[in-house]
Amino acid sequence: YLLFGTSYENEQAAFTTLEYIKAHEKYIDYLNLAVFNLPKFSDDAKDLDTREFYHGDLSLYLNFTHPFGWERKKVKQFLNKTFKKQVSVGTGIRKNPAFFSSNHAVFFKKYKENK
């Protein structure tokens, strides 16, 4: 599970993560790439310029101006146009079952241990 776009990350850090994944691809069974959602009531939200993410009663997240300019749109472009296009990474991502999400990772570990 890789989370991109936190308020502490910049584009160079994302490229460092990509290089790490490429260097260790033989040890990676699956990847789940995600874009960070800032929880509305988190301590991190206090120090950021925030705005409503969704104008509904149940909104749990805030949109924010990224301190390093690493906005959601740029993060998504990086994941789709750079990260996923890397040959070594592409095969790992495609190994994911269609239903895979971060909530399922623990089950894959258990399945592997029981084999």
Q: Model confidence over 24-44: pLDDT tens digits?
A: 888 877 788 899 999 888 898
How far apart, in whole angstroms, are the C-alpha atoms of residue 54 and residue 13? 28
pTM of the model as a whole:
0.74
Residue 63 Ramachandran class (φ > 0 left, ψ -120 to 50 alpha, else beta) = beta
> Which range marks the domain in which residue 74 is found?
2-114
If one counts the domains in the chain, the total is 1
Element (H, E) at 2: strand 2-4
Structure tokens at 112: 């592997």
How far apart, in whole angstroms, are the C-alpha atoms of residue 24 and residue 62? 34
83 CA to centre of own chain: 11
Instruction: List CB contacts of 108: < 8 A, sequence separation 6 or more.
Output: 29, 30, 100
Kindly give the pairing relationship between strand 33-35 and strand 2-4.
parallel
Instruction: Render each residue's pLDDT in the chain as its tens digit; 115 residues.
Output: 899 999 999 999 999 999 999 888 888 777 888 999 998 888 988 889 998 877 766 678 889 999 999 999 999 999 999 998 885 666 656 565 666 565 555 555 554 555 5
How far apart, in whole angstroms, are the C-alpha atoms of residue 24 and residue 20? 6
Return the residue matching tokens 């495609």.
94
